[in-house]
Structure 1
Amino acid sequence: MAAVILAAVIGLAFWSNSLQKAQGATGDNTLNLANWGDYIDPALVKKFEKESGYHVNLETFDSNEAMYTKIQQGGTSYDLTVPSEYMVEKMARAKMLIPLDKSKLHGLNNYGSLYMNRSFDPGNKYSLPYFWGTLGIIYNDKFVSAEEVQHWNDLWSPKFKDNIMLIDSARDIMGFSLRSMGKSMNTTDPNTLALAKAKLDQMSPNVKAVVADEIKMYMAADESALAVDWSGEAADMMANNSHLRYVVPSEGSNLWFDNLVIPKTAKHFKAIYAFLNFITKPKNAAQNAEYVGYSTPNTAALKLLPKSVRNDKQFYPDADVIKKSEVYKDLSPKTVGLYNDLYLEFKMYRR
């Protein structure tokens, strides 16, 4: 009987250990990374594993909110994750992040000063920049000249009637209307927000559709002359249509950042700092940028990219444009609700 019990205990322990390994939760030689889908070069992951001896368990998420909820509810064992700027601020406020130990980090001077010490994480207490980008205007040069779309207000021109597509995002669409009025994209004043919505209503005859991911397909197929979308999405469109161009209006726009942070669930700290130092190396960061196609904040890596990439003002705009642009703040639930309500009214009652 004792032998049977012992065998059962051993079997249960083996099963539990196997389950934990399958979930990526155990082992000192492990790094549990939660990232957006297809947001790191697989060859780099293999290179890191070979050089460091750590095994990477990679899990993907499709929204900041989904990642936040999963960590908040427990049951995860993430060592590193990649939230956007406003989510870094929210997670830090909720005490869901572990401060970076700067004494264990090498090559911090590889990151450009424009991308460090941002408002969502002063002094980079919790985060390192991973990729960055902007909100802007995609135009088809078969139908529109560059001179016609240098400002947000150009989108209200009658010449673009029924010819603009908008990404389905309350914060961004309300945001560029605010920016066109000379107001902050983080405005919380209800009266100013109402004016921004009223201005959007005036633009509605120009709006052909408000869409999500399919905007890339439509623009690649010459279905519309203009679109408002993020720089990363613009890069995908441009890869499928040589007539598409991207511009950040000269008065500035939204400047977004995705960032590496250590969540409170972290356990494998040697692996964490080994990876952070690995991805900070210019050669590795450059390889990652070439694979992902987004803008790198690693200015040492940027120098290793082809001249055609690093001099491309569409994705690496001048410093003055970046300085004029704003990072989204983590607004109160009440204000977020107001943005959403006004935006929904605009969508529902477009003329």
Structure 2
Amino acid sequence: MKRSIVITLAAALVGGLGFSQSEDSAWTCPEGFAGQTLNVYNWATYIAEDTIANFEAACGVTVVYDTYASDDDMLVRLRQGNPGFDVVVPSDVVATLMIDEGLLMEIDQAAIPNWGNLDPTFLDLPFDPGNRYTVPYQWGTVGIGYNTERVGEVDSWADLFAYDGPVAWLEDTTAVFGVALLMNGFDPNSSDPNEIRTATRFLVDNGGNVVYIARDDGQELLLRGEVDMVIEYSGDIFQVMEECECDTYAYVIPAEGTNFWLDNLAVPVGAPNPELAMAFIDYVLDPHVGASISNYTAYGSPNRAALEAELIDPELAEDPGIYPSAETQERLFFAEQNAEREAQLFEAWDEVRIFIGQ
């Protein structure tokens, strides 16, 4: 059954003040970590430019920072055995699978004094009751980024599927199938084989304008003018809009509804330094550090203390594409996943890619 997620964001609608950088943080590293190494595995372009350097300086440690293009890449690698990562950043969908498969260590909340800074809205969610394995990091939506000069006004998935011009889809099987199921009047989390077949046919029939299936770089295709519209994560498009400082690009949460997601910090089984991982997580939950990350990524912050202290850039905090209105939130849904449904969608996705030539 579809879940409507209504988020209490009144504190997010800040005014007037400038926004913080992580060097303003008063966070103090626990003793005993000097000279150690932390290995972080995260999405690309998903942390502020100074976050890692400031943590290294605060703790006297070295951080080896690797990136991946998609959740699936990270999951495949961890399923083969942890090669030495201490911190990973799974979405709610992939976290569900990792928990079920025993790939994550339990979080030591007692070692994270800044835990209380988190907004309870993002805690104790169905994919991880009690947050035994995950810590909220960033949140956002999957929507449409587009070139306003080429496309004009866009407000729906129907606009994207009917567009007579180059389009890119996102390499996010769960999100794209959620949209296809929704467009056919089904639960976006359906695992019914007949409904998934209908969604597969819908994507094949409406994929004639797709020139790329982008691995989390659709915003670059848009920026280079290779496509006019993209299915993308909200923050990636807002980063392009900020860099451009123009009105050429826009992001919309489609009228039909879309996927609301929560990415999380987690410690994989076999982590060489879980204690330092807990210190890093505590550091990220500092209000100044958390605000600095969200101000850079242009994604929603789950850090209530940062929002209440008005550390989020007002232009971001007041943008309904990042912090949606209560009315819009009613049309958002969390994606749900299990191993059986994952296999169904991957098989269907392969069929879609073959038929649309991607």
Q: Name the TM-score, length of structure 1 as normaliser.
A: 0.78
Residue pair 1:156, 1:202 contacting (<8 A) in 2 also: no
Aligned to 1:338: 344
In the alignment, structure 1 residue 220 sits paired with structure 2 residue 223: yes
Aligned to 1:244: 249
Aligned to 2:263: 258
Return closer, same or farther for 1:292/1:230 CA change in 2, 3 Å cut-off.
closer
Give the number of the structure whose residues are more often helix, by fraction. 1
Return closer, same or farther for 1:50/1:343 CA change in 2, 3 Å cut-off.
closer
Aligned to 1:209: 211
Return closer, same or farther for 1:141/1:108 CA change in 2, 3 Å cut-off.
same
In the TM superposition, what whole-angstrom CA distance separates every residue of 1:294-351 from its partner, at most 9, and x where no partner exists?
3322233243122111111122222443453223323334x33433444444444459
State which of 288, 309, 325 in structure 1 corresponds to 2:293: 288
- Deviation of 1:67 after TM superposition, in Å, equals 3.4
Aligned to 2:13: none
State which of 234, 237, 240 in structure 1 corresponds to 2:237: 234
Other structure's SS at 2:190 match: coil
In the TM superposition, what whole-angstrom CA distance separates every residue of 1:242-287 from its partner, at most 9, and x where no partner exists?
3111011244211222211122223534423322221111111111
Other structure's SS at 2:106 match: coil
Residue pair 2:148, 2:247 contacting (<8 A) in 1 also: no
Query: How far apart, CA to CA, are the structure 1 residues paired with 2:224 and 2:272?
Result: 47
In the alignment, structure 1 residue 181 sits paired with structure 2 residue 184: yes
Return closer, same or farther for 1:150/1:278 CA change in 2, 3 Å cut-off.
same
Query: Which amino acid in the other structure matches residue 229 of structure 1?
Result: E
Other structure's SS at 1:266 match: coil
Query: Which amino acid in the other structure matches residue 49 of structure 1?
Result: E
**RCO higher in structure (CA 8 A, sep ≥6):** 2
Unmatched tracts of structure 1, length 5 or more: 1-25
Question: If you compute each CA radius of gyration, which structure gives the higher value, 1 or 2?
Answer: 1
Other structure's SS at 2:42 match: strand
Other structure's SS at 1:296 match: coil
Return closer, same or farther for 1:28/1:267 CA change in 2, 3 Å cut-off.
farther
Query: How far apart, CA to CA, are the structure 1 residues paired with 2:44 and 2:171?
Result: 20
In the alignment, structure 1 residue 101 sits paired with structure 2 residue 108: yes
Cα RMSD between the aligned structures?
3.0
In the alignment, structure 1 residue 311 sits paired with structure 2 residue 314: no
State which of 126, 129, 150 in structure 1 corresponds to 2:133: 126
In the alignment, structure 1 residue 34 sits paired with structure 2 residue 53: no
Aligned to 2:200: 197
In the alignment, structure 1 residue 276 sits paired with structure 2 residue 281: yes
Q: Name the TM-score, length of structure 2 as normaliser.
A: 0.77
Query: Which amino acid in the other structure matches residue 126 of structure 1?
Result: Y
Query: How far apart, CA to CA, are the structure 1 residues paired with 2:316 and 2:290?
Result: 14
Greater Cα shift, 266-275 or 307-316: 266-275
Residue pair 2:97, 2:338 contacting (<8 A) in 1 also: no
Query: How far apart, CA to CA, are the structure 2 residues paired with 1:91 and 1:41?
Result: 26
Query: Which amino acid in the other structure matches residue 345 of structure 2?
Result: Y
Matched positions, count: 320
Query: How far apart, CA to CA, are the structure 2 residues paired with 1:108 and 1:27?
Result: 23
Return closer, same or farther for 1:30/1:145 CA change in 2, 3 Å cut-off.
same
- Deviation of 1:189 after TM superposition, in Å, equals 0.6
Unmatched tracts of structure 2, length 5 or more: 1-32
Residue pair 1:177, 1:199 contacting (<8 A) in 2 also: yes
In the TM superposition, what whole-angstrom CA distance separates every residue of 1:44-94 from its partner, at most 9, and x where no partner exists?
222223323444333334443443444444463333222222221122112
Aligned to 2:305: 300
Greater Cα shift, 304-313 or 56-65: 56-65
Query: How far apart, CA to CA, are the structure 2 residues paired with 1:212 and 1:255?
Result: 19
Query: Which amino acid in the other structure matches residue 198 of structure 1?
Result: R
Query: How far apart, CA to CA, are the structure 1 residues paired with 2:165 and 2:56?
Result: 51
Query: How far apart, CA to CA, are the structure 2 residues paired with 1:218 and 1:112?
Result: 34
Aligned to 1:43: 50
Return closer, same or farther for 1:118/1:319 CA change in 2, 3 Å cut-off.
farther
Aligned to 2:143: 136
Query: How far apart, CA to CA, are the structure 1 residues paired with 2:239 and 2:179?
Result: 22
Query: How far apart, CA to CA, are the structure 1 residues paired with 2:322 and 2:273?
Result: 35
- Deviation of 1:156 after TM superposition, in Å, equals 4.7
Residue pair 1:52, 1:274 contacting (<8 A) in 2 also: no
- Deviation of 1:133 after TM superposition, in Å, equals 1.9
Query: How far apart, CA to CA, are the structure 1 residues paired with 2:221 and 2:273?
Result: 44
Query: How far apart, CA to CA, are the structure 2 residues paired with 1:69 and 1:195?
Result: 28
Q: How does 1:65-84 map to 2 (within 5 A)?
A: 65-74=72-81, 76-84=83-91
In the alignment, structure 1 residue 327 sits paired with structure 2 residue 344: no
Return closer, same or farther for 1:184/1:314 CA change in 2, 3 Å cut-off.
same
Query: How far apart, CA to CA, are the structure 2 residues paired with 1:336 and 1:219?
Result: 29
